Amino acid sequence: MPETSMEDLPGVGQAIAAKLREAGYSNLMAIAVVSPKTLAEVADIGEGVAAKIIAAAKKEADIGSFETGDVVMERRRGLGKLTTSSKALNDLMGGGFESQAITELFGEYGSGKTQIAHQCAVNVQLAPEDGGLAGETIIIDTENTFRPERIAQMAQGLDIEPEEVLKHIHVARAFNSNHQMLLVEKAKEIAEKKTIKLIIVDSLTSLFRAEYVGRGTLASRQQMINKHMHDLLRFGDIYNAVVLVTNQVSANPDAFFGDPTRPIGGHIVGHTATYRLYLRKSKGGKRIVRLVDSPNLPEAEAVVSITEKGVRD
Ligand code: ADP
Ligand code: MG
C-alpha cells in the first residue's frame, strides 16, 4: 500500500508541509496526535484549518488495529532465526538473530560489530537447515568498512564459493544521514525483486552524530534516528527480514550523554531496538557479548571469538 504523505492531506501544500517538518512533525502519526492549537501555531494557519488537517491525518495514518494473542503467536511462528556462527551467541539470542526485529550491536571501536555484521551477510544466504534464511543482504555502509575480502574469507570458512556469496550482498555507501535514510527506500526497491532477508546499517548513528552537533540539535537528531529506525523496522516486517544495526559507544561523549559506555542515540535507539547486544573486548581476541535488553529473553552473556574464518565460539 503506498504511504500517504503529508502533502496529500487536504489543506497541506508544500509550504505548510515544510513548516511542519521543520518543527519535527515528519509523519501523519505525529500530526494525528497534536492539538489544533499547537498545529495552528507551528504551521501559521487558523485553528479550524488545523483541526481539519488533524482529522484527515487520523484517517490516513497507518494506526493498525488490535489483534488477539493467538494471531500474534501464529505470525511469530513464521519468524526467521539467523545463525551467527557461534552457538553461544545463538543460544543467547534464543536461536539466532530474529527477523521482524531490530538487533543493535553496540560497543567501542574494534569490539567486533562490523565482523558480526559481515558474518551475518554470509550466513543469511545459507539454507534454513544450516541456520540461514536463504536470502540476500543489503548493507548500508556509513563508515566505509565493508570489505569483500573479509566476506570471501568467511565464505571460505563455511566452504562456500566466495564469488557467489558476494553476488548476493548489495552494498551502498551513505554519505550523509539524509542519504542514509533514503537508502532504506532504495532497499525496498531491491527487495521487491530479490529475496532480501537481512538489512544491515553499519553504523546507524555515526553520520547523525557527526552532523547534529551540540545540545540544541539533540531533539531533531533523535527524531530523525527515530524515524530511520521505524523505517527499518517496517522493512523487517514487510520482508520478514533481520535488521542489524551497529552503534559505536562514544569514547568522546557529547555534552548530553556523559557516560562513555552509553550508546549514541540514547533512549531513542534503545527503545526502538528489539534486542540490544553490548560487545566488549576480552583476553586473547575474545569478545564478550551481553544481551542487555530483550522483550522475551533473560539478560545474559556469551563469549565469542573472531577468527580468520569468521565469528566462532
Ligand atoms: P567495530 O566494532 O569497530 O566494528 P570490527 O568488527 O571491525 O570492530 O572488529 C575489528 C577486529 O576484528 C579487529 O581488531 C580484529 O581483532 C578482528 N578481525 C578483523 N579481521 C580479522 C581477520 N581476518 N581475522 C581475525 N580477526 C579479524
Ligand atoms: Mg565497525
Q: Tell me the CATH architecture of domain 9-61.
A: Orthogonal Bundle (1.10)
Mutate to test the pocket of ligand 1, among 89, 109, 115 (most ligand atoms within 8 A of CB): 115
- Phi then psi for residue 307, to 5 deg, are -115, 175
**309 Cα: distance to centroid of ligand 1 (angstroms):** 12
**42 Cα: distance to centroid of ligand 1 (angstroms):** 48
Q: What is the pLDDT of residue 1?
A: 42
111 Cβ below 6 A of ligand 1: yes
CB within 8 A of 148, min separation 6: which ones? 166
Select the more confidently predicted residue: 249 or 19: 19
Looking at the chain, the domain(s) classified CATH 1.10.150.20 span: 9-61
- Phi then psi for residue 199, to 5 deg, are -125, 130
Q: Tell me the CATH architecture of domain 76-312.
A: 3-Layer(aba) Sandwich (3.40)
259 Cβ below 6 A of ligand 1: no
Looking at the chain, the domain(s) classified CATH 3.40.50.300 span: 76-312
Q: Label residue 241 by pLDDT band (50, 70, 90).
A: very high
Cα(69)–Cα(24) distance, integer angstroms: 34
Quick: pLDDT tens for 40-85.
999 999 999 999 999 999 888 877 778 899 988 888 888 999 999 9
Q: What is the pLDDT of residue 254?
A: 47
pTM of the model: 0.81
